[in-house]
Structure 1
Amino acid sequence: MFEDGPVPQSEPLNSSQVCNDAGGYVWTVGDLDRLHRFLCLGSETGTYYCTKEELGLQNVDCIQKLIEDGRGEEVVKDIVEYSVEGWTAKQEPLLIALVQCARCEREKVKKLAYDALPKVCRIPTTLFQFVEFVEKLQGGFGTGWGRAQKRAVGRWYNEKSPRQLAYQITKYKNRNGWTHRDILRLGHVKPEQEATALILKYIAKGWKKVTEDRKEDEEHSEDYNDVMTYLQDAETARVSKDKDLVISLIDKHQFAWEHISTEFLKSVEVWRSLLQHMPMTAMIRQLGKLTSIELLKPGSEETKMVCDRLRDENRLNKARIHPISILSALYQYKKGKGMKGKLKWSPVEAVCQALDDAFYKAFKFVEPTGKRFMLSLDVSGSMSCSGVNGIENIMAREASAAMAMVTMRTETDHHINAFSDHLMDAGINPNMKLDEVIKTISNIGMGGTDCARPMLHAKEKKIPIDVFIIYTDNDTWFGDVHPSEALKNYRKAMNIDAKLIVVGMSANSFSIADPADKGMLDIAGFNSNCPNLIRNFALDLV
């Protein structure tokens, strides 16, 4: 079985292995793979063995190395693809990576990064975040505004239709201490249309100055007049005490809750009007609020509307709703209270079920392969100490169980188990609801980490497996056999050319997958395209 005896995970198989944060020996993933992990998983929560600050610096260094190695253009391409396709749960990692490319010394990479700015920063919130990251990188307010950034920011304002821009600047007036006025002052944005000029004047000087300077006998474009009406109604909605008038303006312009006075945010009638055209992301975030005021209650028309939207795959994809965002929303909604503040509600079961369904629909649809799968969840202590992309209420091991459910519901021929320093029954099945899955996995005891356990178990029990999938942070260290060697021995004993897919659940640089073995693949956990990547690898399509 072993020519010279098995090598424990606490010792290297060869000189290409490195010591992970737990003291076991593994391989390092390629720099692009590390980038993909960072984009999908972030580094905001750190890991059991590595602080978030250390993990963040490691990922920044990785991106810098890619740029210095002449691969900056690939980095920008991946940033845009991950953003546009909605493969990531949060925008911060994308923005951090984009800022590094935009502020680098390579002109072509810098140009590509700034060209990508409007594609990645689609709303003012992300634009403000981008600018804030640049300021921090440069070390002072207003110090990062070179010509390239000024042109890119100018395009952000000018490439939007006037009505779209008017909506965004009245909804997102400020974020993180930044305002549109700050951006215009530092960026010296020059409007390219009459209507855009009106909006920029409104930002810089306010509504009173706009109305004072307007001459009634002047002729203006249709867009200008449309924006003028919109801004006037937005100002009215912001200060009006007339609820019926506010509701009529919401219906007319599809205003968001940010457009109206806070005194109406306890009104069921106002929220009913807001809900009619509420964007998907906002609706998911407001489920607790809508339930607390009893707009969402069993059997109501609004509850049916919300549930239908949550199950609408086209809406989910168009809004780029990420599965982890839905999982987090479901977890919090079931609790009946917000993570912060005093808001409480009684969860509506129909909404919980719709969120459960939405989770699976948010992944890219994938057809079954017909292969034999073993899905193995790392439930060791380290997996309970790292979150997923800053989502505070979901730990890596609960998130990995939810991910495994997607494959369990797709592939009929599968085995599911959990492991730490020994293998155990995961206690979950494809018919369970997500909150049941999370609760079940949360109650499994912790231990050391031995990622070889699934292959050793399958070999011992003579279970025929085509594809092993291990969901782990790769901090394996406990066992007497390396996972890659356990797979090779399984192949030989069972005469099956089995594959190993390692779903990385933290943004570190480690993997148990041998990069020299074409039958092993490392992918970033919680990429919404993950099931499709698994399918293609299982069928030799990659």
Structure 2
Amino acid sequence: MEPSGSTATAGNHTLNSTGDGCPWELSDKARLCRFLCYGSEGDVYTAREECHLSMESAEALLSLLQEGRGCEVVEEIKRFTQDGRAVRLNPSLFALALCSQHSELKTRQAAFKALKDVCRVPAHLFSFIQYKKELKEGMKCGIWGRALRKAVSDWYNEQDAMSLALAVTKCKQREGWSHQDLLRLSHTKPACETIALISKYVTKGWKEVQVAYADKENSEEVVKVLSYLEVVEKVKHSCDETEVIHLIEEHRLEREQLLTDHLKSKQVWRTLLKEMPLGSMLNILGKMTADEVLEPGSSDMAAVCDRIHNETTLKKAMIHPFSILLASENYKRGQGYRGKTKWEPDSSILKALDSAFYKCFMNVEPVGKRFAVAVDVSTSLSSVVPGTSVSTAVAAAAITMIPSGSTDCTLPITWATENGKAVDVFIILTNNPLWTCTASPVETLKKHRQKSGACSKLVMCGLSSTGHAITDTEDRGLLSICGFDLGAVSVIRSLAQDLI
């Protein structure tokens, strides 16, 4: 029950970053951390469901701001985004936008200073700007004050030139905003000649760039950026499949930089697959098989399979075992969710995914806690986890590897208490929407804490249900999960580590 290298110690009630008083008090800081993690201050995480973000859904955040703890909030936002704790990034972007227009100067300054750390790619920056716009609706003032103009200008000016060239050609617009809009509204003054070149390309277009730099004696860095932008423009106007493939190989172009017509070519896809991030490739295995890009017994199929279960590749991409499980079950299904795309699953891909599943456990860092995982063994576990092709039984089995009748969630806790087993985290897996408990789950958990001296927590996973009501939701050690996805694994991990 206790993983090797476990550092959990019974009776250790040391408070963490979310605690402000009693270890189990659901403080505003704890609610903020939940919000930043999955977009809700409540104790229910719903898989594959984006929460609606509004002032009403961020009461704890607003309370902390009113208490003058805005800088503390900004630091927490940075931690959640940089350490990979945020299952969904939009709550952090919303929270940062809210901090950036708070009445306290220190909070606003901290928020704008954190912009480049939180918004690492253009899509994040566009979302942040849109949240600011939505939060300002109904107010007489606009959003483009001096502080935002400087923050956006700094975001562009502090980028590596080649990274920025890739970013502006890969993600041109999102959320109704474009790079052209942001550069214009922020009055960005380029800090160096390469940023000036990219800015001109975005705002004026390639033809004006050609004219402006044709007769100049350009630096080596400017020549490098010019050459890259020339390639991007060249591929946009090319109808020659051979030329497109050569440009992809030579300059590692990505599919977002290609035209829709280019993506009708099987050979173009085969070329893209060679350098495509592994996580992205796993999501399109079915489509690639259906479109006969990957054919049984072909060298391209062999190359893809080699990438899937290559230990070095898996480690570099930090692929989680549950991601492989989802990809495998979705591929086995032989049909897309909308029913239009169908394929015959290839045995070599299935074999590669099976091998990769076990190899990926090297990417899971031990939490250093004692887990007790209980699985409801009723026939209801034969159903499928919503939004996936994974049966609830398979999901439950996979989860037990990573850390009939009614379901009594107190039984595992009672068993551990009566047998002198100190448990840090109880995980109960079922798809039964009804909890029939002989006693209060909260009281049963409290008794285990008192007897064992452990800081025990309880996670109740309804793998296919819409929600579970727990009598006392003010205990920070309780969490409900509805459905299951990779985000749920992350949420459980964060709870175990006292991060939410």
Q: TM-score, normalised by structure 2?
A: 0.74
| Cα separation, 2, equivalents of 1:191 and 1:172 | 20
| Cα separation, 2, equivalents of 1:140 and 1:351 | 54
Alignment of 1:86-105 (within 5 A): 86-105=84-103
Does the C-alpha gap of structure 1 residues 477 and 175 become closer, same or farther in structure 2, counting only changes over 3 Å? same
- For residue 101 of structure 1, report the CA deviation from its aligned partner: 1.9
Structure 2 spans left out of the alignment, 5+ residues: 1-23, 379-384, 482-486
Amino acid corresponding to residue 157 of structure 2 in structure 1? N
The 8 Å contact of residues 102 and 109 in structure 1, kept in 2 or not, is answered as: yes
| Cα separation, 1, equivalents of 2:185 and 2:467 | 34
Does the C-alpha gap of structure 1 residues 510 and 311 become closer, same or farther in structure 2, counting only changes over 3 Å? farther
The 8 Å contact of residues 296 and 348 in structure 1, kept in 2 or not, is answered as: no
> Equivalent residue of 2:246, what SS?
helix
For 2:440, the equivalent position in structure 1 comes to 482
Does the C-alpha gap of structure 1 residues 113 and 180 become closer, same or farther in structure 2, counting only changes over 3 Å? same
Does the C-alpha gap of structure 1 residues 100 and 294 become closer, same or farther in structure 2, counting only changes over 3 Å? same
1:405 aligns with 2:363: no
Amino acid corresponding to residue 409 of structure 1 in structure 2? M
- For residue 256 of structure 1, report the CA deviation from its aligned partner: 0.8
Amino acid corresponding to residue 183 of structure 2 in structure 1? L
For 1:81, the equivalent position in structure 2 comes to 79
Q: In terms of mean alpha carbon deviation, does 261-270 or 33-42 score higher?
A: 33-42
The 8 Å contact of residues 286 and 331 in structure 2, kept in 1 or not, is answered as: yes
- For residue 228 of structure 1, report the CA deviation from its aligned partner: 1.1
Amino acid corresponding to residue 184 of structure 2 in structure 1? R
- For residue 168 of structure 1, report the CA deviation from its aligned partner: 1.2
For 1:155, the equivalent position in structure 2 comes to 154
1:410-446: CA deviation from partner (whole Å, max 9, x where unpaired): 66xxxxxx99x534xxxxxxxxxxxxxxxxxxxxxxx
- For residue 358 of structure 1, report the CA deviation from its aligned partner: 5.2
Does the C-alpha gap of structure 1 residues 515 and 532 become closer, same or farther in structure 2, counting only changes over 3 Å? closer
Amino acid corresponding to residue 138 of structure 1 in structure 2? K
| Cα separation, 2, equivalents of 1:100 and 1:362 | 39
- For residue 341 of structure 1, report the CA deviation from its aligned partner: 8.0
Amino acid corresponding to residue 366 of structure 1 in structure 2? P
| Cα separation, 2, equivalents of 1:471 and 1:267 | 47
1:39 aligns with 2:24: no
1:63-96: CA deviation from partner (whole Å, max 9, x where unpaired): 2122223333333223222222323343222212
Structure 1 vs Structure 2 CA RMSD:
4.5
For 2:19, the equivalent position in structure 1 comes to none
> Equivalent residue of 2:58, what SS?
helix
- For residue 159 of structure 1, report the CA deviation from its aligned partner: 1.7
> Equivalent residue of 1:528, what SS?
helix
1:139-171: CA deviation from partner (whole Å, max 9, x where unpaired): 189921222222221122122221111111111
The 8 Å contact of residues 378 and 470 in structure 1, kept in 2 or not, is answered as: no
The 8 Å contact of residues 37 and 507 in structure 1, kept in 2 or not, is answered as: no
The 8 Å contact of residues 321 and 362 in structure 1, kept in 2 or not, is answered as: no
Amino acid corresponding to residue 91 of structure 1 in structure 2? L
The 8 Å contact of residues 375 and 404 in structure 1, kept in 2 or not, is answered as: no
> Equivalent residue of 1:393, what SS?
coil
| Cα separation, 2, equivalents of 1:401 and 1:112 | 45
Give the counterpart of 1:111 among 109, 112, 132: 109
1:107-131: CA deviation from partner (whole Å, max 9, x where unpaired): 2222222222222222212211111
Alignment of 1:366-377 (within 5 A): 366=366, 373-376=371-374
> Equivalent residue of 2:294, what SS?
coil
Q: In terms of mean alpha carbon deviation, does 352-361 or 165-174 score higher?
A: 352-361
Does the C-alpha gap of structure 1 residues 126 and 43 become closer, same or farther in structure 2, counting only changes over 3 Å? same
- For residue 244 of structure 1, report the CA deviation from its aligned partner: 0.8
Does the C-alpha gap of structure 1 residues 511 and 238 become closer, same or farther in structure 2, counting only changes over 3 Å? farther
For 1:12, the equivalent position in structure 2 comes to none
The 8 Å contact of residues 440 and 471 in structure 2, kept in 1 or not, is answered as: no
For 2:206, the equivalent position in structure 1 comes to 207
For 1:469, the equivalent position in structure 2 comes to 426
The 8 Å contact of residues 123 and 171 in structure 2, kept in 1 or not, is answered as: yes
> Equivalent residue of 2:214, what SS?
coil
Amino acid corresponding to residue 469 of structure 1 in structure 2? F
Structure 1 spans left out of the alignment, 5+ residues: 1-26, 381-386, 412-417, 424-450, 538-542
| Cα separation, 2, equivalents of 1:479 and 1:508 | 12
The 8 Å contact of residues 374 and 427 in structure 2, kept in 1 or not, is answered as: yes
| Cα separation, 2, equivalents of 1:378 and 1:57 | 38
Identical columns (%): 36
| Cα separation, 2, equivalents of 1:134 and 1:261 | 32
The 8 Å contact of residues 292 and 344 in structure 1, kept in 2 or not, is answered as: yes
> Equivalent residue of 1:375, what SS?
strand
Q: In terms of mean alpha carbon deviation, does 481-490 or 205-214 score higher?
A: 481-490
- For residue 252 of structure 1, report the CA deviation from its aligned partner: 1.4
Does the C-alpha gap of structure 1 residues 125 and 522 become closer, same or farther in structure 2, counting only changes over 3 Å? same
Amino acid corresponding to residue 261 of structure 2 in structure 1? E
Q: TM-score, normalised by structure 1?
A: 0.69
1:293 aligns with 2:291: yes
| Cα separation, 2, equivalents of 1:193 and 1:508 | 56
The 8 Å contact of residues 35 and 41 in structure 2, kept in 1 or not, is answered as: no
- For residue 222 of structure 1, report the CA deviation from its aligned partner: 0.9
1:24-65: CA deviation from partner (whole Å, max 9, x where unpaired): xxx8732233233333333599889xx987886553222212
Alignment of 1:411-422 (within 5 A): 422=407
The 8 Å contact of residues 39 and 50 in structure 2, kept in 1 or not, is answered as: no
Aligned length: 452
Does the C-alpha gap of structure 1 residues 187 and 71 become closer, same or farther in structure 2, counting only changes over 3 Å? same
Q: In terms of mean alpha carbon deviation, does 301-310 or 262-271 score higher?
A: 301-310
